[in-house]
Amino acid sequence: SCFIDGHLFPAVDIIRTIRDPEKPNTLEELEVVTESCVEVHEIGEDEYLVVIRFTPTVPHCSLATLIGLCLRIKLQRCLPFRHKLEIYISEGTHSTEEDINKQINDKERVAAAMENPNLREIVEQCVTEPD
């Protein structure tokens, strides 16, 4: 959690409602994200580094990259302050965590992924707040 203009702003509130791409559950319900998975550090005047570590439901989860993408898109849209965003898979919880970490923290690869209409549609469905 962090303070914005003196108010506590929990970044986890933004991501807890993201839905799993394959299940009707949210990432919080599946314990992919928890309160303790978010760190916020002040790195400059009014600029923060937000670090997210998420835990895929299974070690070979094929959706880990997609979940990372959902986390990034939702936070980019919703964080009310200037930020750098780093998203990682919790250490030792995925068989290809290094590749996925590279992919979800590479601006160009993220932008390219979001240009794919099918992928973009899935991300939108996952990050849109339920009514």
92-103 pLDDT tens trace = 999 999 999 999
What is residue 80's predicted lDDT score, i.e. its pLDDT? 82
Task: Assess contact for 87 and 72: CB atoms under 8 A.
Answer: yes
What residues are paired with 40 via a beta bridge? Answer: 50
**Whole-model pTM?**
0.89
Identify the sign of the CA torsion 114, 120, 124, 127. negative
d(C-alpha 52, C-alpha 69), whole Å:
12
What is residue 60's predicted lDDT score, i.e. its pLDDT? 87
Residues in the chain, total: 131
d(C-alpha 112, C-alpha 2), whole Å:
31
What is residue 1's predicted lDDT score, i.e. its pLDDT? 46
- Amino acid (one-letter) located at 63: L
Q: Is the domain 8-127 a CATH 2.40.30.20 member?
A: no
Identify the sign of the CA torsion 79, 10, 14, 103. positive
**Phi/psi at 51 (5° precision):** -115, 125
Q: Which two tokens stand for residue 36?
A: 């303790």
Element (H, E) at 111: helix 107-115
| Longest pairwise C-alpha distance within the chain | 41
What is residue 96's predicted lDDT score, i.e. its pLDDT? 94
Q: Which residue has the tokens 């068989």?
A: 95
Residues of the chain with pLDDT below 70 are: 1-9, 130-131
d(C-alpha 55, C-alpha 92), whole Å:
9
What is residue 8's predicted lDDT score, i.e. its pLDDT? 52
